[in-house]
Amino acid sequence: MPTVGVGDLTGGDFLLDVREDEEWQAGHAEGALHIPMSEFVSRYGELTEAAPQDGKVNVICRVGGRSAQVATYLLQQGIDAVNVDGGMQSWQAAGRPVIDDKGQPGAVI
């Protein structure tokens, strides 16, 4: 499974958050696309519309388990996908901004 560290991501990288709604609402990375893992297959078209055609899809969840499963699925579909090592917990620990669903400072739950 290809992985990327939070420190290797830049502001222009495409980020797919696969956590559930309540996790997203509490805190997420600004600009990330949110498609919960539980809805991923039925909402797959949203990803293909939003993802860069020749770019990488960086998949993130809370700690890395769910995102690894989704990244594996995407690789099987021929999409260049990587798992973000440590997930949103590592994102927050690295001092990266986390916002809630109202655009205010958020928290990873």
Taking the C-alpha atoms of residue 109 and residue 107, their distance in angstroms, rounded to an integer, is: 6
52 tagged catalytic: no
How far is it, in rounded angstroms, from Cα 105 to Cα 73? Answer: 32
Extended strands (E) in the chain: 3-4, 14-17, 33-34, 57-60, 81-84
- Catalytic residue (one of 59, 61, 81, 84): 61
Give the span between the Cα atoms of 77 and 82, in whole angstroms. 13
Contact 12, 66 (CB under 8 A): no
Annotated catalytic residues are 61
